[in-house]
Amino acid sequence: MKRAFITGIEGQDGSYLAELLLSKNYEVHGIYRQSTNGGSPNLKPLKANATVFEKTLFLHPADLDDAKSIRVPLEKSAPDEIYHLASQSHVGASFEKVEETCRITGLGALRLLELTRKLPKAPRFFHASSSEIFGSPEQSPQTEITPVNPITPYGSAKALGTQMTRIYRKNFGLFAVNGILFNHESPRRGENFVTRKICRAVAAIKSGRQSELVLGDTSAQRDWGHARDYVRGMWLALQHDTPEDFVFATGKLHRVQDIVELAFKTVDLDWQKFVRQEKQFFRPADPRQVVGNAVKAKQLLSWEPEISFEQTIAEMVQSELNALAGRVAN
């Protein structure tokens, strides 16, 4: 039985990855922040499953800000594979919390690499890098060799983690890889990311609980996929013969406005009656033309996204409608 160690296990990706690895008969260890424990519903089904919880799934309190708190569970669980997903992951918030973002998202990755290097038998290491490392790139679509040139505090912090992952691979011989992840969504997405914010509002407006949706720049474009596809990519990246960086992306750009129109259409409402833009949700800097070329992942890992943009938004709206109707979603 292989053992995996997941940071950020209660987040969107961490929870899907835990489910994937458990289905592949891994023993899964995850760290969560005690200060926010219980805040995330994503692991509730696994925690309620008596055949899994504390049998093949083990959760440990730890904080990336405190290397000592991670060392003990890491050494005890002696994993074969580490998936480093924990992060201050909100780009907009990174402009308000610059130092915290650099500490958790940037230095946090370095701390974990250093702990990993010192383990008696170094496990394989996956770092959740981001398309944000490219900033507003001059070349489109982006690949693993597109120049790193971030324009947001979050992007800079991820660039540090990305480069350190490369340095530990080259200089210390770690099997360390970056998954350069483009946006990916699901019903488990945090509520302050734009897809979830729109889908929640659409369900609330449809049921008469909300009267408007206030957004930032609706002309902004992203390459949006589904989280289930991306966690499969993470696992595949660590099964490959050699440590390599991989872009995971759909290669298709959509506007925030497209999500608005699609989501309102799902519930037969006219978006124009409910949506307005407000400056407070615009960012000081917002990357443009961020779209990925995942041909390397396709060729070496046989990875391709399977869930479309339209399916993702439809699933997210339905999940919000189910939640409001009191039914168990996602």
Q: How far is the CB of 269 from ligand GDR (least distance, A)?
A: 18
Q: Which stretch binds ligand NDP (CB under 6 A): 7-15, 164-172, 199-207, 288-296?
A: 7-15
Interface map 254-283 toward ligand GDR (x if CB under 6 A): --x------------------------x-x
Cβ-based burial of 230 (10 A; exposed 0-12, middle 13-18, buried ≥19): buried
Catalytic residue among 16, 154, 168, 230: 154
CA-to-CA distance for 42 and 11, rounded, in angstroms?
7
Catalytic residue among 130, 156, 186, 319: 130
* Sign of the alpha-carbon torsion through 217, 223, 225, 229: negative
91 counts as binding ligand GDR under rule CB under 6 A: yes
Record the tokens describing residue 283, joined without a space. 């960012």
Question: Which CB, 39 or 61, lies closer to ligand GDR?
Answer: 39
197 counts as binding ligand GDR under rule CB under 6 A: yes
Instruction: Scan for tokens 């971030």, then name that residue.
Output: 150
83 is catalytic: no
36 counts as binding ligand NDP under rule CB under 6 A: yes
Cβ atoms within 10 Å of 128's Cβ, excluding its own: 29
104: DSSP letter? I
Q: At a CB cut-off of 8 Å and minimum separation 6, what does 279 contact? A: none
CA-to-CA distance for 153 and 128, rounded, in angstroms?
16
Q: Please, are residues 194 and 91 in contact by the beta-carbon 8 Å criterion?
A: no
15 is catalytic: no
Record the tokens describing residue 14, joined without a space. 């961490």
CA-to-CA distance for 63 and 86, rounded, in angstroms?
9
Q: How far is CA 147 from the centre of its chain?
A: 22
132 counts as binding ligand GDR under rule CB under 6 A: yes
Q: At a CB cut-off of 8 Å and minimum separation 6, what does 318 contact? A: 266, 329
Cα angle vertex 196, ends 211, 153, to 5°?
115
Question: Which CB, 215 or 313, lies closer to ligand GDR?
Answer: 215
100 is catalytic: no
184 counts as binding ligand NDP under rule CB under 6 A: yes
Catalytic residue among 27, 81, 132, 320: 132
Q: Could you say which of 85, 112, 201, 205 contacts ligand NDP (CB under 6 A)?
A: 85
Total number of residues that touch ligand NDP (CB under 6 A):
26
- Interface of this chain with ligand GDR, residues 276 to 315, rule: CB under 6 A: 281, 283, 286
Interface map 161-190 toward ligand GDR (x if CB under 6 A): ---------------------xx-------
Per partner kind, with CB cut-offs from 5 to 8 A, the member of ligand NDP, ligand GDR, none near residue 246 is none
Per partner kind, with CB cut-offs from 5 to 8 A, the member of ligand NDP, ligand GDR, none near residue 215 is ligand GDR
Write the CA distances from 187 to 58, 59, 63, 192, integer angstroms: 24, 23, 25, 12
Give the max Cα distance, the chain: 61
Interface with ligand GDR by CB under 6 A: which residues?
A: 89, 91-92, 130-132, 182-183, 192-194, 197, 215-217, 220, 222, 256, 281, 283, 286
| Residues annotated as catalytic (active site), given as ranges | 130, 132, 154
Interface with ligand NDP by CB under 6 A: which residues?
A: 7-8, 10-14, 33, 36, 39-40, 63-65, 85-89, 104, 128, 130, 181, 183-184, 190
